Amino acid sequence: MIYSIAGVAVLAIAGFLIYQALSSSLVYFILPSEYAQNPQQYQNRRIRLGGIVEEGSVVFDDRSLRLSFTVSDSIDSYQVQHYGAPPELFRERTGVVVEGRFDGETFMSDNVLVKHSEVYEAPKDGEPIDLNALRDSLQ
């Protein structure tokens, strides 16, 4: 009986520790329009924000290594601030996933991933973005 109680206690503690580890390392992937629907849900949480880099929005200061750009899903857009050199494939009108947190209306990124796929193509000027295709290409 004592061994059974001790075994259950050990399993309960192990389960609790696994739950804590998984919940603290969980990173949500969202599009700008999903964030705009309920920003409180992602408050103080680390997230991955995916979208297209808006044309004409990229500013890079090579002295301070400060990169600023706007990421959009054609419905909503957010300014992104990143410190560090941009990835080699980083360009306007390409898919990106930025990892970090929101500070007000600005996304503070500590990681920029450029996503590219042979399947998804950026829409032509004036054409709306297919959100399902965008989400599939960025995951």
Interatomic CA distance for residues 135 and 128, integer angstroms: 14
CATH code for the domain in which residue 119 is found: 2.40.50.140
Averaged pLDDT, 67-73: 93
Query: What sections of 26-114 are H helices per DSSP?
Result: 32-37
Q: What is the pTM of this model?
A: 0.68
Mean pLDDT for all residues in the chain = 84
Domain count, the chain: 1
Q: Which residues span the domain enclosing 122?
A: 27-138
Please report which confidence band the pLDDT of residue 43 belongs to, taking 50, 70 and 90 as the band edges.
confident
Q: For residue 53, which amino acid is it?
A: V
In-domain check, residue 104: yes
In-domain check, residue 9: no
